[in-house]
Each structure stands twice: as structure tokens, then as C-alpha cells.
Amino acid sequence: MTTKIQDVKVILTAPEGINLVVVKVLTNQPGLYGLGCATFAYRHLAVKGLVEDYLKPLLVGRDAQAIEELWQLMHQNAYWRNGGIENNAISGVDMALWDILGKLAGMPLYQLFGGKVREGVPIYRHADGRSLAELCDNIQKYREQGITHIRCQSGGYGGGSFGPAPAGAPERAAPGIYLDPRRYMRDTVKMFDDIRGRIGLEVALCHDVHERLKPVDAIRFARQLEPYDLFFLEDAIPIEEGEWLRQLREKSTIPIAQGELFNHPLEWRTLITDRLIDFIRVHISQIGGITPARKLQIFAEQFGVRTAWHGPGDMTPLAHAANIHIDLAARNFGIQEWSGTEPPNFVLQDLKGPRDALLDVFPGLPQLRQGYVYANDKPGLGVDLDETEAAKYPCDAGVTRWTQTRLIDGSLQVP
């Protein structure tokens, strides 16, 4: 019997206070359904509407195993293509269809991708601190848990918290998160100098610029960081000014990770074929799910570019699991960002409350043990959704503030 799509549902939940979007695809086979991540945390209602009002009528009655056909159909059906809202909506369905395929085959997804080339996936975690001592303490806690790659920041991405304009801003300047790029660069170089002086060179360190520098400053910044042996420097160049990556590559030996905001293959094609980056960093729901992510991973392999998929808190455990399944089967895997979906017996910080809620809503998470994440080997993605628990944690449709980043003159800076 052909497996047909019978219904498409959207479930919104926020067990950690971050808006998450799940797509559930139900089939004509009793009890067979798939789950996928469609999370665009800051436009979640728009994604929900697109799935329910446009994709569901398009998909119901079609063959659930025709994944490539359905991805292309969803992608072109609106005529204008790409963008965060559409791609995340497509991703929710795409991941759910892969989940269904794995369940039909009785296999975890990595088996459908050709099988494991590694048993566990090494990850990196984020360390921050209000002081050097606090930052180094946090690094040491991660090291004690077997984690060998750590991203280091001091004060987030160089700005403070959302608030009124600081002294030195013009009169009537709008509130925001104010950034001083020159001070950020000085403080970060000193931070890495102090960290290396305290902990040595054994730990692989990363840093995320978050596109908050002008390209010429980013190049100078990268050169200043070269003595500290970074594993990679992330998103140093804004997506709108990607041509500067060629100059960054020519003027610095620091490994480059790029792509958190990418939507479309034209944004990464030249960067990979011309070997202008070392790590591709896309958020896989932002590019449309597992189908395009696998194509990207295989394409990057041909040019020696490694994967380092985005793995933040504003994606569901379904997307974290999708990352892990691709990582397990990818020869050009580099490192995996991990925001902390570990089980509650992983003692690094107090995980009571919200972290337990995440586990209640999404049973079956991949597990972190001694620096490696392991898939649970259940068919499909291996992660389920408890809709009763999910309903306990409603989403927030308020105005997003953390993206309101400003320079000292009050003008907006990309976040």
C-alpha cells in the first residue's frame, strides 16, 4: 500500500522560553507519522500559517515517500522562492517525511545516508563569563566533561543587554543593544591572550563575530587572533558583503566558518568551490531541511570544506537529531555545535525546570557523553513529541529585542 499524506499539523511550544515550531505529518497507515523542525523563533506565526494554509492543501493525498519530488514542489509552488519563512516551513515537512521513511524502513536516518563513519559526534559548547576567572572556570567545567572544543565569548557578541542609549549616543537615540566594535576587538584579543596563558594550547577554541564588524575591521581582527590558534573564527563577514571573504582568506591564515544566515545555494557555492571557507555553518531548517543539507554536505566534501552545522537553542531537538544523523554519516564532518539538549544527569549547571521541560516535551533526545553525542538508534529521527506536555508551554508573539543592535551613533547594526 502506498503511504499517503493524510494530514499536516503544526505544534507550537516553548519549554525553555524559546519559540519552537514542529510539523507533524500523518499518513494513511495507522500510527505512522513523522515530525520535523520548522522553527523560525522570531516569525513562528508566519511559518505556522504558511504550513497550514498553503503546504497542507498542496500535500494531502500525495505519496509520503516521494521526498525529492515534494521538496521541489513546495519550493516552487509560490513562484517566488527561498527565505527564512518559506524554507523553515518546507523543512518541517521535509524532516517529517525523512522521519516517516526511517520508520517505514525500521532504520535510524544515518543508515539511510549510507551508515556511520564514526560512532559518536564530537561537539563544541559555549563558554562566557563576566570576568576572565569566571570564563576560565566555565571552560574547565566543560573540559571535565570530556569536551575538547569550546567557543569563547565575553559579554555575548560584544554588546550589553537591551536598554536605553548609553552616554555618548546622540540625543533621543533609540534603545537597543549598543556595540562598540573597536572596544569589542581589543577586549576579545586580550581575552584569548589571557585564556591561552591560563589553559595552554590543548583545548580547541572558537569565536563568533556574529557579523558585527565591518569587513576591513574583521580582516584586521582575524590577523590579531592568529597567535591564539583558533579552531575557527565564525561569521566574521556579514552575509551582504560576502565578496570580502576572498580578501579575508588572502590576508589571514585563521580557519573560517561561515553560513549561519544562508538561505540559498548561490550564497555558498562560490565560497566552497573557491575554498574561501573551511567550515560550512548553515542552520539546516533555514535552508529547507534534511534534503538540501545532505546535498550541501556532499557538495562541500568534494572541495575539502567541513561541516559545522548551527546547533543553537532556537531549534527543536528534532533538528538537533537531524544534525547528528547527517554528522554520523558525513566523511567531511568537522565539529557540531551543541546548545545543551543533554539528559538531566549531565551535571554542568543546574538543569532543573526548563531543561526537564524540554525532555518532557521531546522524549528520545540524542545523548551527550564525555564530549560525544550519540543517536538513540530508534527508527527515523528517533525523537518524539508529547503534545500534551508541549501545550503547557505557549509561545510568545512579542517584539524581538535581541536583534535591535546599534552602534554608538544610534544606527542599527546587523545582529
- 71 and 115 share one domain: no
Residue at 396 is within a domain: no
pLDDT at 243 over 80: yes
Domain span holding position 38: 5-108
Average pLDDT (389-410) is 95
Lowest-confidence range among 219-223, 292-296, 352-356, 409-413? 352-356
| Rounded-to-integer distance, Cα 212 and Cα 261, Å | 13
- Which stretch of DSSP H or E encloses residue 223? helix 215-225
Mean pLDDT of the chain, nearest integer: 94
Give the cell for residue 188: 576579545
- 156 and 264 share one domain: yes
User: Given the DSSP bridges, would you call strands 204-208 and 230-234 parallel, antiparallel or unpaired?
Assistant: parallel
pLDDT of residue 355: 59
Give the predicted TM-score (pTM) of the model. 0.94
- 342 and 258 share one domain: yes
pLDDT confidence tier of residue 349, bands split at 50, 70 and 90: very low
- 164 and 221 share one domain: yes
Which residue is catalytic, options 124, 142, 157, 228? Answer: 157
Residue at 405 is within a domain: no
- 141 and 70 share one domain: no
Lowest-confidence range among 151-155, 317-321, 344-348, 362-366? 344-348
pLDDT of residue 132: 87
- Which stretch of DSSP H or E encloses residue 151? strand 149-152
- 133 and 11 share one domain: no
pLDDT over 70, % of the chain: 96
Residue 250, C-beta contacts closer than 8 angstroms, at least 6 positions apart = none
Burial class (CB in 10 A: 0-12, 13-18, 19+), 132: middle
Q: What is the pLDDT of residues 210-229, one digit of tens each?
A: 999 999 999 999 999 999 99
Residue 62, C-beta contacts closer than 8 angstroms, at least 6 positions apart = 4, 5, 70
pLDDT of residue 7: 98
Is residue 336 within 8 A of residue 315, CB to CB? The reply is: no
pLDDT at 344 over 90: no
Q: Tally the domains of the chain.
A: 2
Which residue is catalytic, options 210, 283, 310, 320? Answer: 210
Residue at 20 is within a domain: yes
- 115 and 31 share one domain: no
pLDDT at 346 over 60: no
The CATH number for 269's domain is 3.20.20.120
Average pLDDT (310-333) is 97
- 268 and 305 share one domain: yes
The CATH number for 102's domain is 3.30.390.10
pLDDT of residue 352: 40
Residue at 388 is within a domain: no
pLDDT at 161 over 60: yes
- 265 and 189 share one domain: yes
- 174 and 230 share one domain: yes
Active site residue 157: yes
Residue type, 352: K
By residue count, the chain amounts to: 415
- 194 and 92 share one domain: no
pLDDT at 404 over 80: yes
User: Among the three residues 108, 141, 162, which one is the final residue of a domain in this structure?
Assistant: 108
- 119 and 203 share one domain: yes
pLDDT of residue 154: 82
Residue 345, C-beta contacts closer than 8 angstroms, at least 6 positions apart = none
